[in-house]
Amino acid sequence: MAETEIVTDVVIIGGGPVGLFAVFELGLLDLKCHVIDILDRPGGQCAELYPEKPIYDIPGFPVVTGQGLTDNLMQQIAPFGAQFHYSRMVTSLEKLADGSFRLTTDTDEVFLCKVVVIAAGGGSFQAKRPPVEGIEEYENKSVFYAVRKMDDFRGQDVVIVGGGDSALDWTLNLQPIVRSLTLVHRRDAFKAAPASVNQMKELVMEGKINFLLGQIAKLEGENGQLSHVHLSTDAGDLSVPATRLLPFFGLTMKLGPVADWGLELNDNLIAVDTEKFQSSVPGVFAIGDINHYPGKLKLILSGFHEAALMAQAAKAIVSPGERVVFQYTTSSTKLQKKLGVV
């Protein structure tokens, strides 16, 4: 596959609250950003693991949910036009002779930038693999843990396993384009949004999808290509025709490829200074839960502070010699114009 090359000022790895706020701070300084995240939406751990759970320690918000905070941040950074790249992971980071960086992703994209900001929380969210013998043989051929291109599922016999938002969302989104779709869950109760569950049940009643209670027992196919998924149900074993399987068994956190990028680590966290939150590699910054320094507190508000100081240092790298006058959004007409409020 041909590589897509993208040139920008800053690449931010991680689209959680701290990565999103970094877009804001960098945007005030006229730095263009691309954000890469392994999840299929912004918000990171906040939106993925506790979207409706209340957070009580965000300044100015007596209470806000993880999804509410994400929505507010997306609105706040909208004027800066950051580009988002979801459902992919940065696999390599290389510093070039001129001091810039070359990053590659597992979707064959190449990013060239002057500054890298790692805001990856506890690391990469990686899908939990179902305990099914031989599933590795099918992975990335006919078993997938995320939908990167809907067209890859067009006209296929799709089995989706799970009862959370991802399983229900993709059931609803893929149904119009697949040949057949079967949703499998171990019980008739769901963690997904009630509206999505109701839509799914309507599709079942209309005969447009199938819903089965059970668990994956075995996969059948050849050379990595599925033909059937065998389920264990109360009524016994059941064989379902399938050319694509999407198991949504939740996510686990791993440091992932970051560990191989030559950065100084402290107990699997990136060691940084406290002046600008730069790592041991000049031009690579780490903010939020992924970093370590004496006295570090793993709070979202700490990450916001780190993002502000990081942005000042990033500006000096991208625009060396340019005089930067510190300004307040409350009084600077220039900043208010950037934000579109005047």
Residue 104 amino acid letter: T
In this structure, the number of other CB atoms found within 10 A of the CB of residue 123 comes to 21
In this structure, the number of other CB atoms found within 10 A of the CB of residue 42 comes to 22
Residue 169 amino acid letter: D
Contact 47, 20 (CB under 8 A): no
pLDDT of residue 205 exceeding 90, the answer is yes
Rg (C-alpha) for the chain, rounded Å, is 22
* Whole-angstrom distance, CA of residue 286 vs CA of residue 18: 10
pLDDT of residue 17 exceeding 60, the answer is yes
Phi, psi values for residue 251, rounded to 5°: -130, 150
Whether the CA torsion 175, 178, 182, 184 is positive or negative: it is negative
| Closest by Cα among 240, 230, 164 to 209 | 240
In this structure, the number of other CB atoms found within 10 A of the CB of residue 275 comes to 10
Give 102-119 pLDDT, tens digit per residue.
999 999 999 999 999 999
| Closest by Cα among 75, 70, 59 to 340 | 75
* Whole-angstrom distance, CA of residue 260 vs CA of residue 256: 8
pLDDT at 42: 95
pLDDT at 3: 67
204 secondary structure, DSSP code: H
pLDDT of residue 1 exceeding 50, the answer is no
Please state, in angstroms and as integers, the Cα–Cα distance from residue 328 to each residue in 31, 208, 304, 332, 335, following that order: 17, 55, 16, 6, 8
* Whole-angstrom distance, CA of residue 125 vs CA of residue 270: 17
Q: How many CA atoms lie within 13 A of 237 on its CB side?
A: 7
pLDDT at 235: 86
pTM above 0.85, yes or no: no
Kindly provide the b/e burial profile for residues 246-270, where b requires at least 16 CB atoms within 10 angstroms of the residue's own CB: bbbbebeeebbbbeebebebeeebb
Residues 6+ apart with CB under 8 A from 213: 184, 185, 186, 187, 188, 233, 234
* Whole-angstrom distance, CA of residue 130 vs CA of residue 191: 18
Which domains, and CATH codes, for the chain? 4-125+252-338 (3.50.50.60), 129-249 (3.50.50.60)
| Closest by Cα among 16, 11, 14 to 26 | 11
Contact 258, 266 (CB under 8 A): no
Give 296-342 pLDDT, tens digit per residue.
999 999 999 999 999 999 999 999 999 989 999 999 999 999 999 98
Proportion of the chain in helix, strand, coil states, percent, rounded to 5: 30, 30, 40
pLDDT of residue 204 exceeding 80, the answer is yes
pLDDT of residue 168 exceeding 50, the answer is yes
Q: How confident is the model at residue 229 (pLDDT cuts 50, 70, 90)?
A: very high
